[in-house]
């Protein structure tokens, strides 16, 4: 009976949302909000609840992550949280009641899912079509507006060279199934030009997808202190950067309006060797990852909400790298590279100036969602919205 009532509720919500969506005016710039479903399990003030999300701050909300089951179809990775008890799927879709123009998308994949089983699924026409059919049924059953495919990455991590072409064939199979149901199809893509070149046929891909969420981060390396989300290359190292990726994409012929610039709400951290303690500069030999935070509990990363609280408590030496578009900070042996309101504003303005589709934030649950540091909730998400004049 409960399952029947839940299904009926979702159906009625979809009917109402469909009618209202026809009246929605498309916003020029996307603000794509990724939500890490496992954030509900964090401790203390770091525990995130879907009710904390402000639907009007996002044009698209992406629920992460679903995965592949043994049959090669989409499945929940956490039935307790997604479906049975916490009902995460139903709760994110219900946010459309507050903002009927919001598109709620399910992401499948992610780093921890690996690449090999996606390579296997995409290898034959039969398994691609079966996945596409299953994906559509899954989206319809739970009321999602589309699918975000986060295969990290075709041809790599146990994949095959053929993945590059098979990925396009997989997208075509999904688009064929989704078209008549008006379901969106998007992907998350690395901003490393070497990965883009090896893993993706950009020209073909851009013709199929609604948009691409460009992961404008993960540029840092483990051995030395290095910036994680550089807008521009470091003059000293001439390393990869977001701007380099955008130039590469533009030359491929892919319309830049299909690219959303990904901005991290997490900092990458290092523990410095004793002889380098207190040095606020990239390129220093690191002893290892930075100490884990109280919420995310992951050595080498801190949520912005964790970092901003630490900065209120300690005397950090903050150094804006204005020619790169990020900030670094150091306190004794702890060295961090991060984005704040100022750099998010710069990156959202860059998206406008370059005629991109908009921005993406990874993730809303590591923004300062309680407003403890800035007297307003979601300071990073708000910074992007202010650039686009949405608030």
Strand partners, 107: 148
Q: What is the DSSP letter of 235?
A: T
Q: What is the DSSP string of 287-315?
A: EEEPPPPTTT--TTEEEHHHHHHHHHHS-
Q: Is the Cβ–Cβ distance between 2 and 331 less than 8 Å? A: no
Using alpha carbons, list the distances in angstroms from residue 111 to 40, 104, 114, 150, 301: 19, 21, 6, 8, 15
Using alpha carbons, list the distances in angstroms from residue 276 to 221, 335, 382: 17, 10, 36
Residues 114, 115, 118, CA angle at the centre, nearest 5°?
115
Using alpha carbons, list the distances in angstroms from residue 257 to 13, 75, 105, 167: 30, 31, 19, 22
Strand partners, 331: 334
Examine the residue annotation and report whether 152 is marked as an active-site residue of this protein. yes
CA distance 344 to 308: 15
Pick the catalytic residue from 94, 152, 306, 346.
Answer: 152
Using alpha carbons, list the distances in angstroms from residue 121 to 69, 117, 130, 151, 255: 10, 6, 9, 11, 29
CA distance 229 to 222: 14
Q: What is the DSSP letter of 355?
A: T
Catalogue the active-site residues.
152
């Amino acid at each position: 009976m409960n399952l029947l009532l839940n299904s009926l509720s979702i159906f009625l919500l979809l009917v109402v949302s469909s009618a209202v969506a026809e009246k929605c005016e498309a916003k020029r710039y996307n603000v794509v909000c990724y939500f890490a479903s496992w954030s509900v399990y964090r401790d203390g003030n770091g525990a995130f609840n879907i009710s904390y999300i402000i639907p009007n701050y996002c044009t698209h909300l992406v629920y992460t992550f679903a995965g592949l089951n043994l049959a090669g179809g989409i499945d929940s990775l956490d039935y307790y949280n997604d479906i049975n008890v916490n009902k995460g799927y139903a709760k994110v879709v219900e946010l459309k009641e507050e903002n009927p123009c919001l598109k709620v998308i399910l992401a499948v994949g992610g780093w921890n899912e690996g690449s090999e089983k996606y390579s296997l699924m995409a290898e034959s026409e039969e398994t691609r079509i079966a996945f596409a059919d299953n994906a559509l049924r899954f989206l319809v059953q739970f009321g999602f507006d589309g699918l975000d495919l986060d295969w990290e990455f075709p041809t790599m991590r146990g994949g095959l060279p053929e993945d590059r072409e098979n990925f396009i064939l997989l997208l075509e199979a999904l688009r064929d199934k989704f078209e008549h149901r008006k379901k969106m199809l998007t992907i998350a893509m690395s901003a490393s030009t070497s990965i883009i070149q090896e893993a993706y046929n950009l020209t073909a891909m851009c013709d199929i997808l609604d948009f691409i969420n460009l992961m404008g981060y993960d540029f840092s390396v483990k051995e030395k202190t290095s910036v994680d989300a550089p807008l521009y290359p470091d003059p000293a190292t001439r390393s990869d950067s977001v701007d380099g990726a955008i130039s590469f994409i533009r030359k491929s012929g892919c319309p830049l309006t299909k690219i959303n610039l990904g901005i991290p709400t997490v900092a990458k951290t290092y523990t410095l060797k004793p002889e380098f303690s207190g040095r606020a500069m990239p390129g220093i030999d690191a002893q290892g990852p930075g100490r884990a935070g109280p919420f995310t509990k992951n050595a080498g990363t801190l949520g912005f909400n964790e970092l901003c609280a630490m900065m209120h408590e300690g005397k950090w030496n903050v150094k804006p790298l204005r020619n790169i578009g990020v900030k670094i900070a150091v306190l004794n042996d702890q060295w961090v590279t991060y984005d704040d309101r100022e750099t998010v504003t710069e990156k959202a303005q860059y998206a406008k100036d370059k005629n991109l589709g908009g921005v993406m934030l990874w993730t809303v649950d590591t923004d300062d969602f309680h407003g403890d540091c800035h007297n307003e909730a979601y300071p990073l998400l708000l910074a992007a919205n202010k650039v686009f004049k949405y608030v």
